[in-house]
Amino acid sequence: MMNKKLEDAINEQIKNEFYSAYLYLSMAAQAESTNLKGTAHWLKTQANEEFGHGMKFYDFINDRGGRVLVKAIDQPETEFKSVLDMFEKTLEHEQKVTAMINNLYEIALKEKDYPTQIMLQWFIDEQVEEEKNAGVIIATIKMAGEKGQALIVLDHELGKRE
């Protein structure tokens, strides 16, 4: 049976993961509207990944005999100054998610909930990758600039994400 304190915290994280998907979908919509199809593809792929993370938590609660409570999701930001702004906000958001995951892990440690600790290790590793990926893209944008051929090449590369 799932610890109630952890169940509540994971239900909140499900909402947060779905918000992440919504945020990346909002960024993708703006990229799409400015004909940055590769950037939009990368962000839509990220949105799908975040939805999958929410479902991983959803399934975990159910597997442990808990109850998932679907909560309201806030509207994400809809206007971004540039591609660089999108990815800087991506990194900032992923850093917040890392803090949330770490908080969940702390609760699991305190509650001596070993299955949750093991499950959360996957998310801890995932967050290292998420922050690294955003940081690499930011560095590339800063090196290449946000205008002309360099942006077109970067957009093409982002469109290759599987």
Query: Who wins on pLDDT, 75 or 148?
Result: 75
Q: Is the pLDDT of residue 160 over 90?
A: no
Mean pLDDT computed over 70-99: 97
**Rounded CA separation 29/23 (Å):** 10
pTM for this entry: 0.92
**Token digits of residue 68:** 């998932």
- Tens of pLDDT, residue by residue over 54-70, are 999 999 999 999 999 99
Q: Count how many domains the chain has.
A: 1
What pLDDT does residue 143 have? 85
Mean pLDDT value across the chain:
94
Amino acid symbol at 30: Q
Where residue 78 sits, what CATH number does that domain have?
Answer: 1.20.1260.10
Q: Which DSSP symbol is given to 101?
A: H
> Six-digit token pair at 44?
């839509």
Exposed/middle/buried for residue 81 (C-beta within 10 Å: 0-12, 13-18, 19+): exposed
Q: How far is CA 134 from CA 8, 10, 67, 112, 125, in A?
A: 29, 25, 33, 33, 15
In sequence order, what are the residues at sequence separation of 6 or more whose Cβ sits closer than 8 angstroms to the Cβ of residue 24? 43, 44, 46, 47, 50, 90
Residues of the domain holding 145: 4-158
At residue 137 the predicted structure's pLDDT band, cuts being 50, 70 and 90, is very high
CB 131 within 8 A of CB 98: yes
pLDDT at 146 over 80: no
pLDDT grade for 148, boundaries at 50, 70 and 90: low
- Amino acid, res. 145: G
Tens digits of residue pLDDT in 88-136: 999 999 999 999 999 999 999 999 999 999 999 999 999 999 999 999 9
